Structure 1
């Protein structure tokens, strides 16, 4: 039996292919559409906002600059502070050193203060004695001086205070002492520094004649060698130049104040120069005459005058002499 022929399909394979491609195209379009983002343009800021931003930026830059300046200034201040601290530390060290020096100086000055107190006590006693003497003549004041000397050396302070206020009195006292010794074997006149009134007779005795005595008084009118108001040099040079074991010599020291160093040092120096070797005996007598310049003249230095009185009194005592303190600068008294 003959099989019947199958009926042909109305839709062909080509149509299905077209439909599939169409769906694929639609799906692809949807995928592409979803992947594209549409953005709207951002609106530009208004001009006033731009100005504010610019101003803030300028302020920011200015603050940054000021911060740098302040940082540098602070660093400089810190360095200055460090230097000041170092300076303060150095000053504290210097102050401590000065305090130590002052303490040492105060301890070293104890002896000088003791000497000043001693000088003031001696001055008080001497002033009381002078007040009791009153208006006695100068030659009466020196009446207790031993008269056994054959040679005389006058050591005269030629400082400004003596020349300006006491020179007439110095000449008068020089004459009085020469009158006490009518005749001696030799005379010499030096200042407290050891300078000779007559340089041509350096180291030699002046002959004692009336003419020589008058020449000495005349020379006093213009004799003004330099003086340091300390008789040590003059005494030492006189002893070294004129001492001889076969001569009886007296030194007469004229002065008004003492501006040298330690009184004890002066006394010891003179004692060593005036002591005979191997014997506890002086080579020469030392008499001292004190002129009250600083007690009577305006602006007088009481301290140096007091030290002079203490020194002269002890100097004459240790060297077999006499200390005479005058009460007036009047050459007639």
Structure 2
């Protein structure tokens, strides 16, 4: 659902298929063709260029988006259609436009083919997407931050905190990631786009700068685990100690995103610390409690904000 990609089995024979290109090799300025059925116009093809890569349409939300941007005309009805290069190879799946009118105004967006290929392979093999994480929090380095930290480079991903595989590999807060497996990392969406093509257990080679010195590390990716706490209308994941320190506590689970409007809890301002008056340390604790509840039993959930204040709510099944 986060990428709007589905895998569908078609019972048919002798269908033509499209070869996948390596979307990491797509360059800004390359020609692209967008195929689709806008306005019920069957098999329409429009031409344009790749105008940006690693585009995140909303950096403030929890979705790790990384689209290919094109000025090939994409309209309602193009979604799910192919974005191809001049060799007829798939480089992306058309998924969105930005517009004040609802129609094309020059910007269309596609899920990169490498991401789409990994998603469908995961669904086919595991029944779900195996999402890997590097084990860092951070953001795109800007020139102002580079100047404040006396960095000679103005592009890359600045690390705010480390956990999981990144911590074991020796990465630290303040490091600047510039390459992964030889792929240039200019902004945070470049990093997330590449990592989303990998699986938990894969190892990636990181080039980074620390105190002006270029270094290298091999990081084993870990699994991104989440749990839908449906009764409260939120998706949760485990919280590392750096995140817990923001709330002045040593236990709790992190709210990834709201799933409904059951309760107005800002996801970055609160964590869940107790369920039914029992301390919560990880999502396994949450699963155990929820799996042992009877069908009509109420659930008391305690949230904590960054000032140390706690609020409890009782939810009915």
TM-score by length of 1: 0.18
Higher relative contact order by CA 8 Å / sep ≥ 6: 1 or 2? 1
The structure with the largest strand share of the pair is: 2
The structure with the largest helix share of the pair is: 1
When Rg is computed on C-alpha atoms for both structures, the one with the higher figure is 1
